[in-house]
Amino acid sequence: MNDSTNPETIRKRNKKKQETNEQRSKRLARERKLKWQKRARETEQQHEERLQSIREGRKRKKMTETNSDRENQKNRENQRR
C-alpha cells in the first residue's frame, strides 16, 4: 500500500478478507438492505440526480479511456467467461 491510503480503509479491507462465507453473505445481505432502504427514501429529484451523475461518470470515463484500457477491459471480460 502507499502511504496515502487511509488506515481505516486498510482495516476494513483486511477485515473483509478474513471473514467466512457465512459472515460474507450476512454482510452482503445487510448492505443490500441498507442500499434498498436508502433508495426507497430518496425523492424523485434525488433519484434523477443520482442517475444523471452515473450517466455523466460513464460518459466521462468513456471519453478519457485509452486503447490499452479498452484492451484490459476486454481481456477481463474474456477471462470471466
pTM of the predicted protein model:
0.54
pLDDT of residue 73: 87
pLDDT of residue 2: 60
The arithmetic mean of pLDDT across residues 42-67, rounded, is 93
Query: Is residue 15 domain-resident?
Result: yes
Query: Is residue 3 domain-resident?
Result: no
Query: Is residue 2 domain-resident?
Result: no
19 neighbors 27 (Cβ within 8 angstroms): yes
Query: Is residue 34 domain-resident?
Result: yes
Query: Is residue 35 domain-resident?
Result: yes
Question: What residue numbers bound the domain in which 17 lies?
Answer: 8-80
Quick: pLDDT tens for 14-49. Answer: 999 999 999 999 999 999 999 999 999 999 999 999
Number of domains composing the chain: 1
What are the helix (H) ranges across 19-43? 21-41
Q: What mean pLDDT value characterizes the chain?
A: 91
* Measured distance CA(15)–CA(25) in Å, rounded: 14
**pLDDT at residue 3 is higher than 80:** no
Query: Is residue 60 domain-resident?
Result: yes
